[in-house]
Amino acid sequence: MIGTQPTGAIGGVIISAVSHEGLTVTVDGKPARLAIVTDDGQVIAAGTEVAREAAAVAVNNYRGFLQGKGFLRVLSKPIAPGAKS
């Protein structure tokens, strides 16, 4: 559980996290965006809102773990449909 998780499973894709910047993505060295895509291919949201939300959920989950709250699931509030940046 504690330690470094394996990364690098998606060829050409680098997802990075900086505590004061959040998540960023590059594909083959070029800037990219995170997106929420349904199973049928509809893009629900993309861009900085998705990256911010994903980072916030991950941080809140980790904080809950450190606080020993007894649960490890953290949910975000809904992202507005069509939110893209």
Residue 47 maps to a domain: yes
What pTM does this model have? 0.70
Per the CB < 8 A criterion, the answer to whether 67 and 37 are in contact is: no
Residue 3 maps to a domain: no
Please say whether the dihedral angle defined by the alpha carbons of residues 67, 24, 32 and 2, taken in this order, is positive or negative: negative
Residue 84 maps to a domain: no
- Please give the backbone phi and psi of residue 77, each rounded to the nearest 5 degrees, phi first: -80, 160
Domain that holds residue 41: 13-78
> Residue 44 above 60 pLDDT?
yes
**Structural domains counted in the chain:** 1
Residue 28 maps to a domain: yes
At 48-62, the pLDDT tens digits run 999 999 998 888 888
* Higher-confidence position of 78 and 37: 37
Residue 20 maps to a domain: yes
